[in-house]
Structure 1
Amino acid sequence: MTYPARTSYTLIPNQKYRRSYRRSSKFSSTLDADSPSLSTLGDFKALPLEIFQMVLEYLPVKDISMLSMVSKTISSRLINYISTPTGNRRLLRQDFHNPELSGCRKGYSMLEHYKSLGLLLKRCTLLLPTKERLKYIHKILSEISCFKFSGCSDPFHCLGLQCYGVFLQTLTAGWDELECHRVYNFLCELSNLPRRVQTVVGSKPGSARKLELRIRIFCRSVLLTHWIHRSDSAFWLTRILKPWPMVNQARLLYILFGPASNLDGHVVWQKTTDGPADEISLKGLADAIKLLYDTEAKEWTADDVISLLDELSVVPRDWLLENSARLLILCGNNICFTFMASKAVNGRAIELARLVVFLALVCEKDLYCMDWAVKMMQKVCKVFSTPGERNNFLQGVENSFAHIIMDALQSVISGEHDEEDSSFLNLFHLVNAQANFHKEILYLAMSNSM
């Protein structure tokens, strides 16, 4: 972002006020009656400062924001108003835990308020360099405890960080990457985010549940959620992940977007390892992977994303292959194929064959078209460099179907049932998946021979 020359910004000398609530600050100014700047006040020059501020009480925040663009003098008076107790009470709303905020309209109203406030402060501080803008805005917002990393006792039920995120998104919209780097570094310094992340990625999963939750809520609410353009979301997610080694990136990605409890928001580490995870539990991870794979995520290569996906499948330990397959399907065709092709060229045909079986199982369970799994396998077959490698892979798919079905049958025969009788249901889906998978292969073979 290019700023006008700083010499055009004139600080008006502060005047001593008779009343304690008219606090002076680095950015506030009071105009002398003979000052030529009074001409930029228009009809407001006839009003004492107290009356001018009373008029502001009747204006919506959006209108005050528009008013700040009239002149530098008006902007200075508005900054002074924001710093008064009256302006603070009106503009810095803090009813983030109001039970009524659970309603969509109330919550939307709070978010819109802080979006308007972000625009107001963006315009009022337009002539300041980025570092000074951030310091001033932090000074204004520092009294709001729910905007701090650990300032709220119940962050899961608090709207504060979401409002802070909307405010920052509005403030920084249109800024160039260098300025946004400064914003991120400034936030890291305030929140001590890198040290906190180091703690959770270096600890046993779930051993710091409260800190995991705070990192998840802070990063998502403040840095990731409110962007309109995917390139912006990719930029901020990259800032969070890139400083860390790949294994820590995978752990951090799970903390941010992995399955979480609906009751208290805590990360559920065993969700992907102890049983089948539903689409809703994996959608956040899939969306994040797709965001990084996007061409607008300039700091990531396809190999980076595939390596991250591979590392993710062993966080906190090896996932059930059904969950890995479901995540790949949610990630979309390009990522799924690239991931499978990577295994093919690296000689991991047995893993790949088992993965194909579970892709078919997920298609059967989640009602996807089975011909998708067949066509994906057909496409992967073209990656193998020799007919022998391809034939070994196809034989591996058939052997995997047989072994996995026999394992499921053994589980049923041994009487390892739970209340939902999931062992028998899983065998039922496996048999149907195999039948429908081969049916699509027969359709494909017969259509090509005619």
Structure 2
Amino acid sequence: MAVPSSSTFTVIPNLKFKRSSRRLAVARAKETDSADRSALGHFRVIPIEIFHSLLKYLSVKDISILSMVSKAISEQLISYISSPAGNRRLLCQDFHCAGFVEGRKDAPVLDHYRVLGLLFKRCTLLLPTRERLKYIHKIISEILTAGWDELECHRVYIFLCDLTNLPRKIQILVSSKPGSSYKLELRVRLFCRHVLLDHWTQRTDSAFWLSRLLKPWPMVNQARLLYIFFGPVSSIDGHISWLKMTQGLADENSLRGLADAVKLLYDTEAKEWTADDVISLVDELSVVPQEWLLENNARLLILSGNSICFTFMASKAVNGRTADLATLVVFLALVCEKDLYCMDWAVKMMQRICRVFSTQQERKTFLQNVENSFSRIVMDLLQSVISGQRNEEDSSFLNLFHLVNAQANFHKEILYMTLNSTSV
């Protein structure tokens, strides 16, 4: 029996079409927005800008009472407080006005902020405690001190030091063995990061407060504090991991905070820090609490940026530490290989360092030291692999693999650079 020609095509199974999750989300958002708008009562028919304008005719105490009407009204009032108009009206900056008399409980400024605190409390009443604290801290620490000059910010820092006894706590930390006061280390880290350092949007503000924390102390203690504030923490208990840099390899995430802090101090915004200060700080940091593994040191320099990396290496060249400099070049190449950075960056950095040397003989000696360092480190790793005396976590073979590839790619970039220069 002949098969009809109409049955020769492939039949597509019937698909069960599902309602788009995106459409569901949009629909739910519309329903939520509609519910929120209905909760505003008669205010739902007016734009939010006009609602904010009407609030100008209410006292802070009246606004505080209004925030208890509904959750929707409370959210609109939080939006008003965070707006520029709300900031200008509610968070007045003139604390030295004639109406303020020290010691008087009925001073206008104190009364204003007493009522304002009640407003914050009522507006955030339905939020979880963590969110309430985060919101109020943002208002007080960022908006309240925005635009203040350095003298006023100095006064705020002195007040906080007196209130929290921060200098005494830091003195205990820098005088004791790393990790011996791990609970105090964590408390100081969290206080300084959450209250003074992390929430600023302007780098000048971050540099100012970090300088206030570091400058009163000697350089060796500055490095110790920088590690306490921004160093890696244990994934198990959250305590500061002091042995991370000395006994194991640190990844980019572990070093990112330290690198960002170093860059912050090196930038022109940090007027109190010279390039020599920052380089000395990085040098001290690399031995906290003991001398770091060279790969960790190289990774920190790469994350800190070209300027800091070059200045650090040029300082070694000027001081005649060519052997240490050559070893550092090898580990820069190794980090570039492991972290998939362009190897020509390491070659160009070495080329810039060569220009620091004043004579041709010094350049030749430096390049010879680089080659000797490659050979020595490869042989050390090879001997470790051949000996076979290693545990399960030992990565000597993998490091040897990366180092051989790094050496090959490093010299390949040098050959490319040589060929390009001769063909011009």
Mapped to 2, the partners of 1:433 and 1:267 lie a distance apart of: 32
Q: Rg larger in 1 or in 2?
A: 2
Out of 126-135 and 270-279, give the one that drifted further.
126-135
Residue matched to 2:370: 397
The correspondence of residues 78-157 of structure 1 with structure 2, limited to 5 A, is 78=60, 116=82, 123-124=89-90, 126=92, 128-129=94-95
**Offset of residue 160 of structure 1:** 7.0
Out of 291-300 and 115-124, give the one that drifted further.
115-124
Which amino acid is 2:337 matched to?
E
CA contact (8 A) 2:81 2:90 kept: no
Out of 282-291 and 185-194, give the one that drifted further.
185-194
Say which SS state the counterpart of residue 247 (structure 2) adopts.
coil
The correspondence of residues 220-231 of structure 1 with structure 2, limited to 5 A, is 220-231=193-204
CA contact (8 A) 1:371 1:440 kept: yes
CA separation of 1:436 and 1:114: change in aligned 2, threshold 3 A: farther
**Offset of residue 283 of structure 1:** 0.4
Mapped to 1, the partners of 2:50 and 2:160 lie a distance apart of: 29
| Structure 2: unaligned runs, 5 residues or longer | 1-41, 43-48, 101-108, 121-128
* 1:366 maps onto 2:339 in alignment: yes
CA separation of 1:422 and 1:127: change in aligned 2, threshold 3 A: closer
User: Which of 268, 287, 290 is the matching residue for 2:263?
Assistant: 290
**Offset of residue 136 of structure 1:** 8.0
1:398-437 Cα distance to aligned partner (Å, 9 max, x none): 1111111111111111213332451110111111111111
Residue matched to 2:317: 344
CA contact (8 A) 2:295 2:335 kept: yes
CA contact (8 A) 2:60 2:116 kept: no
Mapped to 2, the partners of 1:249 and 1:134 lie a distance apart of: 38
Say which SS state the counterpart of residue 144 (structure 2) adopts.
helix
Mapped to 2, the partners of 1:298 and 1:63 lie a distance apart of: 44
Mapped to 2, the partners of 1:65 and 1:204 lie a distance apart of: 55
Percent identity at matched positions? 64
**Offset of residue 79 of structure 1:** 5.6
Residue matched to 1:254: 227
| Structure 1: unaligned runs, 5 residues or longer | 1-54, 56-61, 94-108, 145-156
The correspondence of residues 171-182 of structure 1 with structure 2, limited to 5 A, is 171-182=144-155
* 1:166 maps onto 2:138 in alignment: yes
User: Which of 321, 330, 350 is the matching residue for 1:357?
Assistant: 330
Residue matched to 2:248: 275
**Offset of residue 262 of structure 1:** 3.2
1:151-198 Cα distance to aligned partner (Å, 9 max, x none): xxxxxx966764454121111112222111111112122111111111
Which amino acid is 2:411 matched to?
H
CA separation of 1:137 and 1:404: change in aligned 2, threshold 3 A: farther
Residue matched to 2:173: 200
CA separation of 1:257 and 1:135: change in aligned 2, threshold 3 A: farther
Residue matched to 2:416: 443
* 1:415 maps onto 2:381 in alignment: no
Aligned length: 360
1:226-277 Cα distance to aligned partner (Å, 9 max, x none): 1111111111111111111111111100011111123432111111110110
CA separation of 1:368 and 1:389: change in aligned 2, threshold 3 A: same
User: Which of 363, 382, 387 is the matching residue for 2:360?
Assistant: 387
CA separation of 1:385 and 1:436: change in aligned 2, threshold 3 A: same
Say which SS state the counterpart of residue 172 (structure 1) adopts.
coil
**Offset of residue 318 of structure 1:** 0.3
Mapped to 1, the partners of 2:159 and 2:399 lie a distance apart of: 51
Mapped to 1, the partners of 2:316 and 2:88 lie a distance apart of: 49
Say which SS state the counterpart of residue 299 (structure 2) adopts.
helix
Mapped to 2, the partners of 1:64 and 1:436 lie a distance apart of: 65
